[in-house]
Amino acid sequence: MTRRTRTWLLLLPAGTWFLVMLLLPLSVVLVFSFGERAPAGGVVPAFTFEQYANLPARWTAFKNTLTLAPIGTLAALLIAYPLAYFLAVKVDAKWKTILLVLVIVPFWTSILIRSYAWIFLLGGRGIPALLDWVGIEGVRLINTPFAVLVGIIYGYLPLMVFPIFVSLDRLDKRLLEAAADLGATKWNTFRQITLPLSVPGVATGCLLVFILLMGEFLIPALLGGGKVFFVGNALVDLFLQSRNWAYGSAVAATLVFVMLITVTIYMRLIARLGASRDDVSIM
Amino acid sequence: MRIYAICVYLFLYIPIGVIALFSFNAGRHASQLQGLSTKWYGKALDNPFVMDALQTSLLVAFISACLASLFGTMAAIALQGIKGPVRTIFDMLIYIAVMIPGIVIGIATLIGLVTLFDQLNPLLATLWPEGAEPPKLRMGMGSLIAAHTMFLMALVIIIVRARLAGMDRALTEASSDLYATPFGTFWQVTLPMIFPAVLAGFLLSFTFSFDDFIIAFFVAGSETTLPIYVFSSIRRGVTPEINAIGTLVLAASLILLITAQLLLRKGERKPR
């Protein structure tokens, strides 16, 4: 067996799988988005922009996604940065790995059950009951944008901490000593050395969290109670309840398109800031 | 600084802890703690719907993780040795598989496969011998495994490639200089070195598949996986039974994940 045949044989299963289970389905979405809704619930092939023209009907879902995703990303960043800094710069080497693993691991566990925990905590008998007890009455937390935001931060904080940690951990600690020796204040050292050098990590973290938030369904479904809904919730409704595949495909294609545009603009901005795009790995 | 870090850890672990605590609640109401007992675990494990869903989830997770680890590792090894358009195409496919939101993957798989089956089913019927009932392709366990495998394969390729890239090339070269066959080199040099990564990839894949809700929600047909069962129960209200199931699921995935993490980190630490 030649080297060439071997390579092809090794790639064959994965290639076929990607073709049938990724490229084919995504093409079907694209084709359907230009089709017309069939009376029975399927799609009549056509070439019309009718579905796309109809997008404003789901404007609220897009608006919610495009406001809460950036706000959630920013909030996660503000909470994650100090922790990542602490883990990378302040913590003893022997504790580093275990503390880092403790941050990352919740991210890989069931987001469903972790969001469920917040239904429990934010629901009538959770934190509001506690507040009631100390005298603050009538606070409603569940099914509000705040609840969704808490769920988002809780769900995606680990994903933000990790890349920032990696970039700060790589930072040459002698630079910090040198700055201190040269009489820089702690704040100036942070502002002029640590912060600029951690930009790649911050950029990666924000990108990862933002991308995942754009397609979020579970957190708004469980904590937003139908009042705060994302594009993901609109998609579930369109495909599983009203079975409007043509319109649903147009919404899905638009979501991916908006995501690609945002990510491209973002990458450009980051490149201009002089950061590299390496290390998107989260393990 | 230290206090801040402790607060964040509390934020991360208190909700999990609360769920675990309330799963041992002896009372009937989900949110009033009335003594401790393990009766809800018994209830959950006696519920045939839960056990069915659990069985489906475990089977799907095991098969997809096996397929993904095998095909993903094969692809990662092949990709390591080539350059040019094929590699670029695979890089793009992996990028797409990881970047496209899970919900879009779920939807696309649903309508893609339904459309494909609509074309294939009449064809199968004509090919089938007269009299016998022709098989009918439909959404179910098969489509679920196929969809999970696709996504997990991308994950395994990324993990194994990272390990292969960190490997000392001189070792495989030395092995072939010493007249080892390509298979011998693979078996005795490459495989032992990438094995921790493959195993970590398998464990991660298993957890991912087991925990996945959104793809399964679209693709599972009439099958119910554990996350689908939990989701529909939550919709009906919070019960101590869900707390018990949730605690078991979290505990199981925590064990698998910490093992995977330790394997990966152990594999990374190479002597210099």
Asked whether residue A190 is domain-assigned, the answer is yes
pTM for the whole structure: 0.88
Q: Confirm whether A210 is domain-assigned.
A: yes
Residue A62 and residue A257 in contact, taking contact as beta carbons nearer than 8 Å: no
B234-256 average pLDDT score: 86
Residue A7 domain flag: no
- In this structure, what are the phi and psi dihedrals at residue B25, rounded to the nearest 5 degrees? -65, 130
Q: Is residue A6 part of a domain?
A: no
What's the whole-number mean pLDDT along residues A76-85?
96
pLDDT band at B131 (very low <50, low <70, confident <90, very high): confident
Place of tokens 């990839």: B201
Any domain includes A16: no
Whose structure tokens read 């996504």? B151
Which chain B positions have a beta carbon within 8 Å of A97's beta carbon? 265
Task: Evaluate whether A132 touches A150 at the Cβ level (below 8 Å).
Answer: no
Helix, strand, or coil (residue B227): helix
Structural domains counted in chain A: 1
Q: Which residues of A touch B214 (CB under 8 A)?
A: 217-218, 232
Structure tokens at A100: 């880092």
Q: How confident is the model at residue A277 (pLDDT cuts 50, 70, 90)?
A: very low
pLDDT, tens digit, 9 for 90 and up, residues B179-224: 888 888 888 888 888 888 899 899 889 999 999 999 999 999 999 9
- A43: in domain: no
Contact A148, A219 (CB under 8 A): yes
Cα–Cα distance, B75 to A75 (Å, whole number): 38
What tens digit of pLDDT does each residue of A202-232 get? 998 999 899 999 999 999 999 998 788 899 9
Token readout for B41 is 């675990």
Domain carrying residue A94: 49-272
CATH no. for residue A97?
1.10.3720.10
ipTM over 0.90: no
Q: Does A162 touch chain B (CB under 8 A)?
A: no
* Amino acid making up residue B92: M
Segments in A86-198 forming alpha helices (H)? 93-108, 111-122, 127-133, 145-170, 173-181, 186-189, 195-197
Express each pLDDT in B26-36 by its tens digit: 776 666 677 78
Instruction: Say which residue, B117 or A1, is predicted with more confidence.
Output: B117
Residues of chain A numbered 85-144 and touching chain B (CB < 8 Å) = 85-87, 90, 97, 101-106, 108-114, 116-121, 123, 125-126
A31 lies in a domain? no
Give the C-alpha distances (Å, rounded to integers) separating A210 from A104, A173, A213, B99: 17, 30, 5, 11
Chain B CB contacts of A28 under 8 Å are 108, 111-112, 115
- Residue A162 tokens, joined: 């990790």
pLDDT in tens, B60-70: 999 999 999 99
- Give yes or no for a contact between A6 and B182, defined as CB atoms under 8 angstroms apart: yes
Domains of chain B by start residue, with CATH: 54-268 (1.10.3720.10)
Q: Is residue A19 part of a domain?
A: no
pLDDT in tens, A129-186: 788 888 887 778 888 999 999 999 999 999 999 999 998 988 888 888 888 888 888 8
Rounded to whole angstroms, the Cα distance separating B150 from B153 reads 5
- For B138, phi and psi rounded to 5 degrees? -150, 170
Confidence of residue A18 (pLDDT cuts 50, 70, 90): very high
Residue reference for tokens 């464990």: B203
Question: What digits encode the pLDDT tens for the residues B119-129?
Answer: 998 888 888 87
